[in-house]
Structure 1
Amino acid sequence: MHLTAPATRRTGLRDTDGMAVASFVLGLVGFLVLNVFLGPTAIILASIALIRGTQRKGRAYLGLALGVLDLVVLVAFMHVDSTVSWSF
């Protein structure tokens, strides 16, 4: 049982690092399309990664910032167009 604990810890850290990178990618893509879904998802993944202690804190913070920016852009375009979505 003692031998499986470090492997579980490494897997958990790798999962949080993956969440940090995924939040960055989703926040970046969400800036262009589907920001109503991808923005909150990026925020949630970045928050979980930061809470769990990811090694990629910069990516997690960028994902968090991009997720918030997605929502700000969505609100701005909703205010201008009076719609829930926007396109180029």
Structure 2
Amino acid sequence: MNATVNATGAASRSREADGMAVASFVLGLIGLLLFNVVLGPLALALGALALVRGTARRGRALLGLALGAADLVVLAVTIAHSHGVLWQIG
């Protein structure tokens, strides 16, 4: 019975890691257009966690890491180009 519980736990953990890899990819992709200050670091964290937990979707996790980093680069370029002012009201 203990082996069954361990196998079920490992399968559940693998599915969680796969979900994190996909979420990292999706958040990184959306972050290129919207809320990159929040979604970029979140994509980086989820991608790294997915890799640490041994995801079967390693490519998605790596793409999530790359897109999360690209989100932060876009943010830095936007801030540098606008001299620190991102939004203007009025």
TM-score > 0.5 by shorter chain: yes
TM-score normalised to structure 2 length: 0.90
Residue 14 of structure 2 corresponds to residue 30 of structure 1: no
Pairing of 1:7-26 with structure 2 (within 5 A): 7-26=8-27
Query: Which runs of 5 or more structure 1 residues have no equivalent in the other structure?
Result: none
CA distance in 2, matches of 1:18, 1:84: 36
Bigger mean CA deviation after superposition, 40-49 or 1-10? 1-10
CA distance in 1, matches of 2:85, 2:47: 24
Offset at 1:84?
6.3
Q: Which runs of 4+ in 1 moved over 6 A?
A: none
Q: Hey, what does 1:68 align to over in structure 2? A: 69
What is the alpha-carbon root mean square deviation over aligned residues?
1.3
Q: Hey, what does 2:46 align to over in structure 1? A: 45
Equivalent residue letter for 1:48: L
CA distance in 2, matches of 1:83, 1:35: 15
Is the CA contact (8 Å cut-off) linking 1:74 and 1:84 kept in structure 2?
no
Offset at 1:3?
1.8
Identity %: 51
Offset at 1:11?
0.2
How many residues end up aligned between the 2 structures? Answer: 86
Equivalent residue letter for 2:62: Y
